[in-house]
Amino acid sequence: GCVVVMDENYEVIDEIYYLDENGDEILIDPHGFIWIDDDHYIVAAYKQETVEVPEEIGADNNLADLAVLYIEEVKDGEVLWEFCSADYEQFLYESNSVTWDESMDKCYDYVHFNSMNYDTDGNILVSCRHLNAILKISTEDGSLIWQLGGDYDDFGLTDDQLFSYQHSIILTEDGGYMLFDNADTANWAGEADTSSVICLTVDEENMTVTDFMRYSVLDYFSNYMGAIRELDAENSVYLWSVGGNYSIDSDTPPEWSMIEYTETDGDVSYHFCFRFDEGTRRLYCSNKCE
């Protein structure tokens, strides 16, 4: 799709697309968009490209059609920098969505970008669900700075700290990171786990995790979708938005929910369920309208 820009009267004044190398507009990925100023933004898109696959991965042939992720910052119609997932061979090795020895007869979404936010230093954090990883990307030149999680994790996460098929990477008030861990790897193995919220702090100089907490609510497992927002840092109050949920100890059919949860006393103060065939993919907090 595209990002539609409106004025204070809700009149459409612009439509934003991804600009390719020829300056042509292509459809963007709706999972993440950063508005910086008028005619200044960061946007993501996929391009179907034929990529050479290393022989040791075990593909029947060495070529595969992949949905290659591109992220770029644009100002006044000029591309300032660009990130391309095909520049990093490690993503081919650690993708959880591709079995390379099967017939490569379709285009694979091998990274699956689903969230993007600024870090405290002005670089961006990107969640890639099919890599089980958070990427930090430079806003100077679009290069990969580090990877948190996945097979090429740079921070030495322990088994208890790993996450899978995650969503919604955001910053907390204290400068840490928060994400929604779908924990779907266990589900694909036939062992449904409990989805959770992870809060962690990293030391980027020593590349270590200095603080880690995992919160789970109502034993819910959400195999896809999900979002998290910090409402009150002092009292650890969080708002979840989760989809495809079910309690692992219940025969209750899946539901889509929003849950307000206070970690300090384990209180669920708000729980709203959508109808079975409806849901929310995103979760935003705004000031109350007077």
Residue the block writes with tokens 């949860």: 261
> Of all residues in the chain, what percent are helix, strand and coil, respectively (each to 5)?
5, 50, 45
| Extended beta strands in the chain, E state | 3-6, 12-16, 18-19, 25-26, 33-37, 40-52, 63-75, 78-84, 113-118, 124-128, 133-137, 144-149, 167-171, 177-181, 196-203, 208-215, 220-232, 237-247, 255-262, 267-273
Q: What is the pLDDT tens value at each position of the chain, 290 positions in all?
A: 788 989 899 999 888 888 887 777 888 888 889 999 888 999 999 998 988 888 777 655 677 888 999 999 999 989 999 999 999 999 999 988 876 655 556 778 899 999 999 999 999 999 999 999 999 999 999 999 999 999 999 999 999 999 999 988 999 888 899 998 988 775 554 455 678 889 999 999 999 999 998 887 666 777 777 777 777 666 555 566 666 555 544 555 445 566 665 555 566 665 556 554 444 444 444 333 33
Q: How far apart are CA 41 and CA 79, in angstroms?
A: 10
Phi/psi of residue 130, nearest 5 degrees: -85, 5
* Whether 88 contacts 68, CB under 8 Å: no
Domain boundaries, the chain: 1-113, 155-290
pLDDT digits (tens, 9 = 90+) for 82-133: 999 999 999 999 988 876 655 556 778 899 999 999 999 999 999 999 999 9
